[in-house]
Structure formats: C-alpha cells, structure tokens
Chains A and B, each alone.
Chain A
Amino acid sequence: MKEDRITVLNALRNGDLFTRLSAVFMGAGMLGHRQIVKGVLVLLLEVAFFVFMATSGLHNLGMLPSLGTEAQGEVWNEAKQIYEYTAGDNSQQILLAGVVTCFVIVGFVALWILQMRHSYKLQKLIEDGKEVPTLREDIKNLFNGNLHMTLMTLPCIGILIFNVVPLVYMISMAFTTYSKEGEHLILFDWDGINQFLRVLNMNGNIGRQFWHVLGWTIIWAVFATFLNYILGMVLAMVINRKDTKGKAFWRFCFVLSIAVPQFVTLMIMNIMLQPSGAINVLLMNAGLITEPIPFWTNTMLARITIIVINLWVGIPYTMLQVTGILQNIPGELYEAARMDGAGPVKVFFKITLPYMLFVTTPYLIASFVGNINNFNIIYLLSGGGPTMVGDTAGQTDLLVTWLYKLTIDQQYYNLGAVIGIMTFVILTIVTLVTYRNSSSYKNEEAFM
C-alpha cells in the first residue's frame, strides 16, 4: 500500500507523462487531467516566478551576502560647478529585498510540491475510473468542505506580509552593523553575533543596562500581573457579596474608567502627578506636605507610582473578566468548607484562588506577556525616566520601551533587534515553564 500514498516521490516514480512533466512545466498534470483552468493558472504563476527571478530575484539574492558595497559618492561636475551625488547601495533595502525574495522562493517550492501531489492525485482518480472534479465543483467546495481556504487566505496573506516577513527582517537585522554608531545607517555589513555578546556582557555599558532593565521588567510584570489579578478578584467578590447593596452602581463606578481611552487617562495621570500637578497642589493646599512629591524623578517612587497607576487601570478589567467565572464555582465546595468551619480568608486561599488559578492560567499567562510588552503605560507615564547620564535606558524602562528608544530615538537598529529577540526568548521560557507547571496542564480534570 505504501506506494499508493500521494507524495512527491511517488508522483515522480509512478506518475504518467503529464504528472512527470509537471515537475518542469508546472500545471501540466492538471492540463493533462482535465483541469484546464487550474493548470493554466499554475503555469502562469511559474512563468511569473521565473520572470521575477530573472529581472530582480537573482540580483537580490546575489547582493545579500555583501549587503552592498558602493558608498554614496560625490563627483565634482566641472560644467555645472556643483557636486553631483551618485546613488550608492542602500543596505537596508537590499536586506529587505533579499528577505522578500527568500519568501518568494519558499512559496514557489511549496506551490511546486502541492501541484505535484495534486497531479498525481488526479492521475489516480482517472486510473480508478472516478470523476475528476470540475472547476464549478471546486468553486462550490470552496464554500463547503474547503471553506477554511476561502476564509483564511486573506488573513494569512496579511499576517505573512505584515508580521512574518517584518519579523524575519528584524531578526536578521540583529546580525548586522545597522546602527548610528560608526555611521552604518546607509551601508552596513553582517556582524555575526557580536551585538548579542555586547548585550549579554555584564561588564560593558550596554550589557549593564540590559541586565538592569531586564530585572525591572520582570519585577514589574510579576507585580502588575498578580496584584491586579488578586485585587481585582477581591473587588469582584466584595461587590458580588450577598449583603452588598447597589451592585450595579459600584460596578458602574469602576467600569467607567475603562471607558475612557487608556492613553488619555495615562497622559492625564502623568500631568496630575507632576511637581506642580493637581495631586501635589491638592496635598499642599491641604497642608499635608510642604514640598511637592517627586513622583517621576525619584527611581523608587516612580516605580511604585507606575505599579499603583497600573492597578487603577487594570483592576476594573480583572473585575469584569472574573465576575462570570467566580459565579461558576460550584456552591457545594463552599458549603463543604463552611461545614468544616473554614473562615473567609481560608476559603479564599483554599477554594476560590486554586479554582480561579486552575481556570484562568491561560489568561494569567496572556496578561503576564501583555505586561512585559506593556509599552503605553511606561512611555506615557514616566517615559522611562529618570535616566542616568550616559545611559540610553531609564530607570523605569521596560525592554519594549528601551527597544523603542534604541530604534526610533537613537537609531541603533541592530541593538534594538537584539533586545526584541531577547524579549521573545524570555517570554517563551516563562510561558513554557508556567504552562507546564500549571494545574490545568498537569491535571486537566481536577475540578470537573
């Protein structure tokens, strides 16, 4: 039976003339097996691919190893009495074109494999005396059995062009000298893993900042995630207590803050907490303090302020999200605990929290990831400050905001890309470890 499987190898080995012909003339198998339109389309795609490779693809690939050598030149034009500029190579464009070409080649290979298999499948259908689906039937099937192809093609193309290609492009940038340092903004070279070594080296300036920022990023993410989670849950439980009056009103008060766009509230908080902002004015007018509190210029105070403001932003979300789940906790569990004489604190830690952790681990992981990548709150509140002299990273910068500063403000593109990759590595480790150790992974039926 093995030789019956539809693989490229079998297609080459057992294929008839048309099937084998499609190894060179793609679509030949379909043309020869009564699927004319599809065959012509595939053949046209092949032609387009070779035209692309001949006109620019091969050139793009050829430039990739050197990333360009011609610097922008200046030539004195005697006749016009001016300097004329000759266009040099632009490494950044060469790299992008190279990456795109690689993707086009991968796509072409995939298309080749698919059409080989398809030709062989058609051949076997005919050999077995079965009907070959007509174009009309194929199109009909796109809205039935193959609906996923219709629905997912456009989203996948979008993700490919605007997420996967950019990511590969940025990752490859980490291995180059693309940076303002040493004037490598137009013409740059491959640089191996030098930038990674620089970031990981604790003794260098950049390395020291990296470990510093990493430490704060993790502290921030842990505090932001768990404080929000637990306090939001407590708030939801307090509002849902049987004896609490006016549940809808309380909920409305907290939800109102979600309704205001986040960047607006963050910018306003930033202004309110300035030395001459509303909070300091209020406290000074009340005679509680004589000097304004330096919310954004003292490292410790800035960090605490950010975590507290994040509570203000995040608790209502958690409250909304957990309300429904809290009501799903089986009542018998609580009754049994009450019978055994457990107090409310004990019930919370022994029943509510384990149950919630069990159900919401994926949500917790997602919010941890979201917090590590939480750009807005840092950028809009403290801007990463206070910043030490000579540093590119401030005391409250997260890896993401530092990445932003390195790329947009400083134009150290290669370092920025390295930081992005490191963030990804850290997130992958954290996600895998927590997921593996979570009870919802170890014991799927615990509460069922």
Chain B
Amino acid sequence: MENQMAKNTMSPRRRIVNILVHVLLGILAIIWVLPIVWIVLTSFRAEPGAYTTTFLPQGYTLNNYIKLLTDRNVLNFPKMFTNTLIISIISCVISTFFVLSVAYSLSRMRFKFRKPYMNMAMILGLFPGFMTMIAQYFILKSMGLTEGASIRIGLIVVYCACTGLGFQISKGFFDTIPRSIDEAAIIDGATQWQVFTRITLPLSKPIVIYTVMTAFIAPWVDFIFAKVLCRANADQFTVAIGLWNMLQKEYIYQWYTCFAAGAVLISIPIAILFLYMQRFYVEGMSGAVKG
C-alpha cells in the first residue's frame, strides 16, 4: 500500500523532471550545433567579407565553392588538397605500423628495455610539444629536407617520427586480449610474428581502424608545424595552412566565405570517418582504462 502511494506521488514529479531534462538537452544541442550550422550557411553566403550586419546571409550562392576549387592564382586550394592527401596517406601507413608495432611489443613481449621505454615515453610526453619544433627544423635543414618539393618528405618524417610514443591506447587494447589465445597458437607452432599479424591484429579491428584514422587525420588538422616548415613556399602548403591564410588580414575580405566552404569540404570526410569510428574510439578508450 505504501509502495503504491510512493509510485503515485512520484509520477507527476518524474514527468516534470523528464520534461526539464529534455528542454535542457534541446538548448544544449542548439548551442553545440549552431556554430556548425553557421559555417555551412556562411559557405553559401553571397556577400563577401567576414563581418556582416545580419546573422543570416542575405543571398545564397555556390560561387564560394567554385572559386575555392578553380582559383589557382592567389590561394591554390586544389594543389593544397593534393599535397595534404599525399602526405597523409604516406604518413598514415608509416605511423600506423609504428604505433601498432610498439604497442604489441610492449603488451606481449617481455624484454629488458620494456619498462625503461615506457617510463621514457611518459617523461618525453611532459615536455611541451614544439619545444622540439625549432630543433627539428634545424635537423631537417641539415638533412636538406626544407627546400622545394622535399618539404613534403620533411613533413612526412616529422608526422611519423615520434608516433612510437603514442602507444598507450593500442597497448591498453592489446592488453585486454586474453594471452591464452597467443599461447595456444604458439603451442601449435606459430611464431610471434604470426601471432601478431594473424591473431592479434584481426582481433583488434577497432583499434587498428582508430589508429589508421587518427594518423590519417593528423596532417589535415596540423597547421603549426606545417607553417614553420613551409614558410613562404606556397606550392607546398597543406590545407590547414591554406585555410589559416584565408583568415589573415590581406585575404580575409575576399576569402572569408571561401574559407567557410573549405572548412565544410574538409569537415565532411573527417566527420564521416569520425562518426563511423566513434564506436571504436569508445571501445578503445574503455579498453585502455580497464587494462
């Protein structure tokens, strides 16, 4: 009887709480989605310039996209796009191999250098990332990788070289795969290499996909190192520097709406990749923490 009473008095209160929660979520969702909607609208805006007196565009056009994809004189976006694509494909292959190799070795193999390596990785991670940037630039310069077309190689080297320090998430995932599976395979005569390539990797699809995609996305969103390395070599620019340049004083009036168009264009593939790999990201994270 008492229970029944409690349920009846709870019901309207719960309904109010429910409504409040949904209203709150709605407001928050608008706050989170509004800037994105605004970029998309701006990319179709007919009036040029960064600042307008109205929030919504007065006229709509596709010219921003056309200008972005065809104007090769001032800011050559198609060229930047191919540059970035080449860099990101190559560095994606190399750094995926690096990350997964290191993670597997640290998770499954036992060797003297293992603990020191993990401690070293932690210590190196505490230094500000681009404290090393200038020195890296000097080293690349002494290798002759800072002029003309070799800037691309320089960028690839920089994006890949230190990825061996970012093993934590993959290692955490490998740690959650039962060792008994490996042991069974080894008893059947498999070598460690075969265990790695034929057993662990196929079982770790989420984390492999996660690693590939983060490695692929990195060159698209890094602008600071690319800026230092490319300096004024406009034909080596990556997409990120190009977009950044469009917002500088000399270009912003003419290029602002094109910037929005460019932002939309590179966001679409990244968004699709991300929404697709979201599941793996969550799984990878919770695996890492559990391990």
Contact = CB atoms under 8 A, between A and B. Distances in A.
B192 A143 contact: yes
A159 interface: yes
B192 A423 contact: no
Contact of B247 (A158, A267, A375): A267
Contacts of B22: 244-245
A268 B244 contact: no
Nearest to B39: A268
Contacts of A375: 129-130, 224
Contact of B228 (A148, A256, A316, A408): A408
Contacts of B51: 274, 276-277, 281
Contacts of B36: 256-257, 260, 265
B139 A420 contact: no
Given A151-B101, A159-B164, A250-B25, A399 B128 contact: yes
A85 to B, nearest CB: 20
A212 to B, nearest CB: 18
Given A369-B126, A373-B128, A235 B161 contact: no
Interface in B1-43: 14, 18, 21-22, 24-25, 28-29, 31-33, 35-36, 38-39
Interface stretch (B59-67, B69-77, B173-181, B266-274): B266-274
Given A271-B247, A278-B38, A145 B192 contact: yes
DSSP class of A's interface residues: helix, strand, loop or mixed?
Answer: helix
Which of B135, B274, B278 gathers the greatest number of chain A CB atoms within 10 Å? B135
Interface stretch (A126-134, A163-171, A297-305): A163-171
A313 B164 CA distance: 27
B50 to A, nearest CB: 6
Interface of A: 92-93, 96, 140, 143-145, 147-148, 150-152, 154-156, 158-159, 161-167, 169-170, 235, 238-239, 241, 243-245, 250, 252-265, 267-269, 271-272, 274, 276-278, 281-282, 285, 312, 316, 320-321, 323-325, 328, 359-360, 362-363, 369, 373, 375-376, 379, 399-400, 403-404, 407-408, 413, 416-417, 420, 423-424, 427-428, 431
A264 B24 CA distance: 27
Given A257-B32, A277-B51, A162 B102 contact: no
B275 A259 contact: yes
Interface residues of B, number: 87
A266 to B, nearest CB: 10
Interface string B184-212: 00000001110010000000000000000
A167 to B, nearest CB: 6
B87 to A, nearest CB: 15
A159 B55 contact: no
A284 B221 CA distance: 34
A165 B135 contact: yes
A256 B271 contact: yes
Contacts of B289: 325, 359-360, 362-363
A280 to B, nearest CB: 9
A151 B167 CA distance: 13
A369 B125 CA distance: 9
A328 B25 contact: no
B90 to A, nearest CB: 14
B131 A420 contact: yes
13 contacts: A147-B192, A162-B136, A170-B134, A244-B25, A254-B29, A255-B275, A255-B278, A259-B271, A261-B266, A264-B243, A264-B267, A269-B35, A423-B127
B25 A147 contact: no
B58 interface: no
B104 interface: yes
Given A167-B127, A250-B29, A272-B35, 20 more contacts: A96-B139, A140-B191, A158-B98, A159-B124, A166-B136, A167-B135, A243-B14, A252-B275, A259-B270, A261-B217, A261-B220, A264-B39, A271-B247, A282-B55, A321-B285, A360-B289, A399-B128, A403-B130, A427-B126, A428-B126
B109 interface: yes
Contacts of B50: 271, 274, 277
B163 interface: yes
Contacts of B131: 167, 170, 403, 416-417, 420, 423
B258 to A, nearest CB: 13
B119 interface: no
Given A264-B243, A320-B278, A359-B289, A96 B271 contact: no
A256 B266 CA distance: 14
B101 A241 contact: no
B128 A163 contact: no
B251 interface: no
Contact of A147 (B32, B105, B228, B283): B105
B281 interface: yes
Contact of B142 (A96, A147, A152): A96
Contacts of A276: 51
Which of A239, A281, A360 gathers the greatest number of chain B CB atoms within 10 Å? A281
Contact of A241 (B21, B111, B138, B286): B21
B85 interface: no
A386 B228 CA distance: 24
A272 B286 CA distance: 36
Which of B113, B127, B221, B240 gathers the greatest number of chain A CB atoms within 10 Å? B127
A96 B138 contact: yes
Contacts of B109: 147-148
A213 B134 CA distance: 22
Contacts of B113: 148
B54 A285 contact: yes
Contacts of B136: 162, 166
Contacts of A403: 128, 130-131
Nearest to B246: A267
A158 B164 contact: yes
Contact of A312 (B31, B38, B114, B193): B31
Nearest to A360: B289
B234 interface: no
A74 B229 CA distance: 31
B286 A325 contact: yes
Contacts of B14: 243
Contacts of B18: 243-244
B261 to A, nearest CB: 12
